[in-house]
A and B are shown apart, each in its own frame.
Chain A
Amino acid sequence: MPALLEVDDLVVDYLTPTGRVRAVDHVSFSIEPGEIIGLAGESGCGKSTTAHAILRILRPPAQISGGRVLFKGRDLVQMDERQLREYRWNHISIVFQSAMNSLNPVLSVGDQFVDMIRAHVHSSKSDARERAMNLLQLVGIDRTRIRSFPHELSGGMRQRVVIAMALALQPEIVVMDEPTTALDVVVQREILQQIEELQQEFKFAVLFITHDLSLLVEFSDRIGVMYAGELVEFAPASRLFREPKHPYTVGLMNSFPPLAGERLTIQGIGGAPPNLANPPSGCRFHPRCSHCTPSNPALYALQTRVKPELQLVGENHTVACHLYGDGRER
């Protein structure tokens, strides 16, 4: 049986006046039904671009230059607009970071639900309204709020409205692009708990994108870590937490000061993320990597010249790093 969604060798470029910038570089992963997949990385690592490519909502100058996105075996990259319309929202929906920007400020919440539902399924206005009220109730908002306008709702409520909308047509996959980053920590927690409850009830799969690795470990089944457009590690969440392999993943894990235990000095990661218009040679992380020193000339040459491939280092655990597998013996 094929995976629910399979991203296969996806390449996305931004065509800028100064040249081609490769934002997503040969990324592959799959999502099984009902699974929560986390995609972690810093700004500019290509995680949001990957999400937008999956929904085919990239706008120029971005373009998909290669690869396939298979939904139940059908390649979305080859679909035309009419076919895409069929598949978006019915099968896969997205929640953006800023709820305020995804809601229309001059329409009531109810009108936006009705528009969206009637754009995708045959339904009378009153049926669509009834459905909208049930959805609001599902995410813990009073049914009467259907008459509210976005500005009358708090940030957390707006984000929950957007989540309810994403769930309206019972899609098999919901892509969540930093859905809680703009919210306060308490509201973030509340919404995450709600997503988890809804997910257990309706069994949709989630692609959850965030820079907050500690949140992903808690929330997802499997996690992919992206750096400079590439997937550098992919592993089950608990495994990634216990045994992160890639030095970048280790660094990210060490970038969140703990709330319990001894107050130790932690270093984070030195340097800054690279400019993708001119990415470093070899392993893209090598200029910031503490394991990359000329003291081991053979390894150093490999790290600075040869791009590491993803390889299996444990059960369902792949990593792209010269410290592991073939690279070590060579």
Chain B
Amino acid sequence: MSAEAIAYDVDTSVPILEVQGLTKHFSMGGSMLPWGHRSTLHAVDDVDFALYPGRVTALVGESGSGKSTVARLLARLYKPTAGHILFHGEDVVRQNSRRHVLRYRGQVQMIFQDPFGSLNPVKRIGHHLARPLLLHKVAPRSEVPERVRQLLTTVGLVPADDYANKYPHQLSGGQRQRVCIARALAVEPDVLLADEPISMLDVSIRMGILNLILDLKRRENIAFLYITHDIASARYVADEVLVMYAGQVVERGETDAVLQAPLHPYTRLLLSAVPNPEGGLSHRRVEVRGEVQAAINPGEACRFASRCPVAVEASHCKTPQLVEVQPGHWVRCHLYPQPD
């Protein structure tokens, strides 16, 4: 899998994976009686985006924003309530045959947050990498050991033979996360979904994983969805940023546009909350009220209104639309002109 060869036949202007109106509602138990009150959690509401080859799209939000649900929907671990997931232009939501699912999983892979829980403790590293190769028939059995070596080398675990023979407990957190990335790469995917891949790692090794993501994006032209609560790391790896709040995308655009000139009050709040050694706490006080309210039975109002320092009258009575305020820069807020 030489990088140049792949780079040639990939058109980076056509999206690999496109999400339209993606929605996931969870029914919240409550009473089982027919007259009982049932409520609905709007985990993901009407989310659109597209993943392109060789591009990293970051989904940024706090816990409860719905960002991990988006990843799970894309990994087909949940069925969406509504909306389409177009993979190479084909809607995969209705394709449920084993053949279709395997084909999809062979090209869309996921990296989880916890590298300690996602490897089998009684199997060697080599086993973890050989399995997807055989399962997805990527390589004939005879070539598997060689491919395993290549994969380990790709993610920087050298000498590869040593690592292939180790057990997960013999590796550090960062090394384990590299194994998870290698395992995802085994099937030569077009898309990698990375759900908080560095948040459980030690600070000193996080940059190594982020640099590996950047490297894979450039060398293998993989389309990344990078999910994080850490907006600074999103700035480091991402080409495009989507900020989510209570199930909705509230702002999206090119990374520099969103982070240098944020439009939504929530994006500004997130940015100002990041620790910044340049100034003291008291120098830039952040006005915050309350915490993320999960979108349970949301009514007609901006979901951020109760915490918003600049809420206007309309914020409390009407849900704002996502509007393109500048070319490629979208925001969902009543401070900007809304369509009629």
Contact: A193 with B286, CB < 8 Å?
Answer: yes
* A156 in the interface (beta carbon within 8 A): yes
How close is A237's CB to chain B, nearest CB, in angstroms?
8
Q: Is A90's CB within 8 Å of the partner chain B?
A: no
Chain B residues positioned under 8 Å from A190 (CB to CB): 286, 288
On chain B, the residues within 8 Å of A217 by CB distance are 275, 277
Interface flag for B233 (CB, 8 Å): yes
**Contact of B229 with A by CB under 8 A:** yes
List the one stretch of B21-29, B75-83, B119-127, B201-209 in contact with chain A: B201-209
CB distance from A80 to the nearest CB of B (A): 38
Tell me whether A186 and B281 are in contact in the complex, defined as CB-CB below 8 angstroms, given that A251-B204, A272-B175 are known contacts.
no
* B204, A188: Cβ atoms closer than 8 Å: no
- Alpha-carbon gap, A120 to B92, bound state (A): 63
Shortest distance between the CB of B178 and any CB in chain A (Å) = 11
The verdict on A189 contacting chain B, using a C-beta distance below 8 Å, is yes
Within 8 Å by CB of B204, from A185, A241, A273, lies A273
Are B235 and A257 in contact, CB atoms less than 8 angstroms apart?
A: yes
**Which of B174, B207, B235, B273 interacts with A186 by CB under 8 Å?**
B273
Residue of A nearest to B273 (CB): A189
Contact B206 A193 (CB under 8 A): no
B9 to chain A, nearest CB (A): 28
Residues of the A chain whose Cβ atoms lie less than 8 Å from the Cβ of B277? 213-214, 217-218, 241
A12-20, A167-175, A259-267: which lies at the interface: A259-267
Contacts of A277 in B (CB 8 A): none
Chain B residues, CB < 8 A from A256: 203, 232
Kindly identify which residue among B208, B236, B279 contacts A263, using a CB–CB cutoff of 8 Å: B236
B223-261 interface with A by 8 A CB criterion: 229-233, 235-236, 259
Partner of B291, one of A187, A248, A263, A265: A187
Closest to B209 in A: A268
Which residues of B are found within 8 Å of A187, using beta-carbon distances?
Answer: 288, 291
Which residues of chain A are within 8 angstroms of B338 by Cβ–Cβ distance?
A: none
Interface string of A281-297 (1 = CB under 8 A from B): 00000001000000000
**A257 with B291, Cβ < 8 A, contacts A42-B204, A214-B277, A269-B205 known:** no
Q: Taking the complex as formed, is A322 at the interface, i.e. its CB lies under 8 A from any CB of chain B?
A: no
* Known contacts A196-B281, A214-B275; is-contact A257 B205 (Cβ 8 Å): no
Counting CB contacts under 8 A, is B62 at the interface?
A: yes
Contact check: which of A185, A192, A215 meets B229 at CB < 8 Å?
Answer: A185
Inter-chain contacts of B288 with A (CB < 8 A): 186-187, 189-190
Q: What's the minimum C-beta distance from A225 to chain B, rounded to whole angstroms?
A: 12
Residue numbers in B under 8 Å from A154 (CB-CB): 291
CB distance from B303 to the nearest CB of A (A): 15
Nearest chain A residue, comparing its CB with the CB of B307: A186
Contact A213–B202 (Cβ < 8 Å): no
How many angstroms from the CA of A251 to the CA of B230 in the assembled complex? 19
Are the C-beta atoms of B207 and A273 separated by less than 8 Å?
A: no
Contact B291 A268 (CB under 8 A): no
In the complex, A273→B174 CA distance in Å?
10
CB within 8 Å for A43 and B202 given contacts A258-B232, A263-B236: yes
Chain B residue at minimum C-beta to C-beta distance from A191: B288
Task: Assess A267 versus B203: contact at CB under 8 Å? Given A192-B281, A214-B277, A257-B236.
Answer: no
- Do A212 and B275 contact each other (CB < 8 Å), given the known contacts A252-B203, A265-B211, A269-B205? yes
For residue B210, CB closer than 8 A to chain A, the reply is yes
B residues near A268, Cβ cutoff 8 Å: 203-208, 211
Of all chain A residues, the one with the shortest Cβ separation from B172 is A272
Residue B19 lies at the interface, judged by CB distance under 8 Å to chain A: no
Q: Which residue of B lies closest to A155 (CB)?
A: B291
Number of interface residues of A (CB under 8 A): 43
Using CB atoms, name the residue of chain A closest to B255: A263
Q: Is B282 located at the chain interface by the 8 A CB criterion?
A: yes
Residues of B within 8 A of A196 (CB): 281-282
Q: Mark A225-265, 1 if CB is under 8 A from B, else 0.
A: 00000000000000001000000100110111111000101
Q: Which of A211, A218, A251, A255 is in CB contact (< 8 Å) with B280?
A: A218
Q: Pick from A186, A218, A272: contact of B205, CB below 8 A.
A: A272
- Give Cα distance in the complex from A258 to B275, angstroms: 10
B275 to chain A, nearest CB (A): 4
A29 within 8 A of B: no
Per-residue 0/1 for A270-284: is the Cβ within 8 Å of any B Cβ (1 yes, 0 no)?
Answer: 101100000000000
Q: Is B285 an interface residue (CB 8 A)?
A: yes
Asked if B2 lies at the interface with its beta carbon under 8 angstroms from chain A, I say: no
A251-B204, A268-B205, A273-B172 as given contacts; A257 in contact with B63, CB under 8 Å: no
Q: How many whole Å from B21's CB to the nearest CB in chain A? A: 27
Nearest-neighbor residue (CB-CB) of A259 within chain B: B232
In the complex, B311 has a CB within 8 A of chain A: no
Q: Of residues 176 to 233 in B, which have CB atoms within 8 Å of A's CB atoms?
A: 202-208, 210-211, 214, 229-233
Contact A185 B286 (CB under 8 A): no
B269 lies within 8 A of A259 (CB): no
Identify B269's interface contact among A43, A155, A186, A218, CB under 8 A: A186
Q: Which of A155, A219, A256, A273 has the most CB of B within 10 A?
A: A256
> B301 interface residue, CB < 8 Å from A?
no
In the complex the two chains form, is B275's CB within 8 Å of A257's CB? no
Chain A residue numbers with a CB within 8 Å of B207 are: 254-255, 257, 266-269
Q: Write out the residue numbers on chain A whose beta carbons fall within 8 Å of the beta carbon of B280.
A: 218
Query: Lowest 5 A-B CB distances belong to which pairs?
Result: A268-B207, A217-B277, A272-B172, A257-B236, A269-B204
A-B contact pairs, 5 of them (CB 8 A): A185-B62, A190-B288, A192-B281, A212-B203, A269-B207
Interface, chain A (partner B; CB < 8 A): 42-43, 154-156, 184-190, 192-193, 196, 211-215, 217-219, 241, 248, 251-252, 254-259, 263, 265-270, 272-273, 288
